[in-house]
Amino acid sequence: MTDNKARTDLFSPARLGALDLSNRIVMAPLTRSRATDDGLVGDLQATYYAQRASAGLIIAEATNISMQGRGYALTPGIWTDEQVAGWKKVTDAVHAEGGKIVSQLWHVGRYSHNDLQPNGQAPVAPSAIKAEGDTYTNDGMVPVAMPRALETDEIPGIVADYVRAAENAKRAGFDGIEVHSANCYLLDQFIRDSTNKRTDRYGGSIENRTRLTQEVVEAVLGVWDAGSVGIRLSPASTSAGNTPLDSDVMATYGHLIRQLNRFNLAYLHTVEGVTGGARQMPEGIDLDVLRAEFKGAYIGNNGYDLDLAIARRAESKINAVAFGRPFIANPDLVERLRNGVPLTDAPRETYYGGGEAGLTDWPKLAA
């Protein structure tokens, strides 16, 4: 391992689009459910992210673009001035430590509940197909609700919400944004023919089903330069209510990735396998083939350890690597990986909810 680390450039400066990074270790977005019920973050999150600013890039926890976009209680938003002010504390703290941070823009679509929606309305989705599973509300865990299908004339409003969120992310001092088109949430629900049964210009063909993701990306590029915008995809993930895969993953996501190339984005961030689960691919799916379709930088995510990251970097299969859960209990993860220090495992009960305990009280290595 020592020889391998000596030969790898994972710990060397890198550039993804317009983002200059101190190393190729990325902190993946981690929902921690410690925002207020109004979607506000503040001093607590500023401390948390600043502690992890030695990552080459922090992708902040998934952040709701609107009240309609919420799928879980106590998750942050970026649609109000108060939310922007809270995030400004976070970005200032990260920058003071020499770090870089981008905002991941999120709409959960059907994976929500009426109690989380404005005026108790039904969640929205490409089609009125109920997801499996439970979600977290102020009254605890409840089954996700039956969604309603978005009307065609409502979709420009969804795109406008992404644009407003992108503008607010810039006001909040982020270094860029990541469009969350993964994990079976709204944009991914439009992409997959298992969750999209529409007959309008957003349904049916691959070209139609991938249209909304492209429209969102093109719209936010009116706010941010392309070199500061990334996108997250998860072609093989069945998370968020055991959503089925698309019937032709390679054709659908291959088309989408080729279309994304025209935007010259900073990076493609891909969940390799099932989010938080196995890396094994179903028969007929080869994410390395899809990766090769993308002409920009590529961030690999899911189940990585240092050995795997070094190996895939040596084979030019990643430009950077995203670690998620290891960052929870190891705020100085980059130094621990560089020096071969054993990592601390965070108990699952510390992942979501609460205050400082399990969030900001993990010690760094002694100097």
- CATH number for the domain harbouring residue 302: 3.20.20.70
Q: Exactly one of 48, 162, 185, 253 is catalytic; name it.
A: 185
Q: Is residue 74 part of a domain?
A: yes
Pairing of the two strands 14-16 and 229-233: unpaired
Of the candidates 96, 103, 90, 95, the one whose C-alpha atom is nearest the C-alpha of residue 41 is 90
- pLDDT, position 367: 60
The per-residue pLDDT for 242 is 74
Catalytic residue list contains 136: no
- Residue ranges of E strands in the chain: 14-16, 19-21, 25-27, 57-59, 63-64, 101-106, 124-125, 134-137, 140-143, 148-149, 176-180, 229-233, 267-271, 297-301, 320-323
- At 207, which amino acid appears? E
Task: Tell me whether residue 357 is in a domain.
Answer: no
Residue 93 falls inside a structural domain: yes
Question: Is residue 78 in a domain?
Answer: yes
Q: Is residue 141 part of a domain?
A: yes
Q: Is residue 362 part of a domain?
A: no
Contacts of 153 (CB under 8 A, 6+ apart): none
Q: Is the residue at 179 inside a domain?
A: yes
The predicted structure's pLDDT at residue 2: 47
Domain extent at residue 201: 2-350
Q: Is residue 281 part of a domain?
A: yes
Model-level pTM? 0.97
The number of distinct structural domains making up the chain is 1
pLDDT in tens, the chain (367 residues): 445 666 799 999 999 999 999 999 999 999 999 999 999 999 999 999 999 999 999 999 999 999 999 999 999 999 999 999 999 999 999 999 999 999 999 999 999 999 999 999 999 999 999 999 999 999 999 999 999 999 999 999 999 999 999 999 999 999 999 999 999 999 999 999 999 999 999 999 999 999 999 999 999 999 999 999 999 999 999 876 678 899 999 999 999 999 999 999 999 999 998 877 778 888 899 999 999 999 999 999 999 999 999 999 999 999 999 999 999 999 999 999 999 999 999 999 999 999 999 999 999 998 6
320 SS3 class: strand
Residues 297 and 260 sit within 8 Å (Cβ to Cβ): no
pLDDT of residue 41: 98
DSSP, collapsed to helix, strand or coil, labels residue 304 as coil
Tokens of 79: 């649609």
pLDDT for 4 equals: 63
Sign of the dihedral through C-alpha 343, 346, 351, 355: negative
Closest by Cα among 63, 27, 11 to 329 = 27
Q: Which of 100, 97, 93, 34 is nearest to 63 (CA)?
A: 34
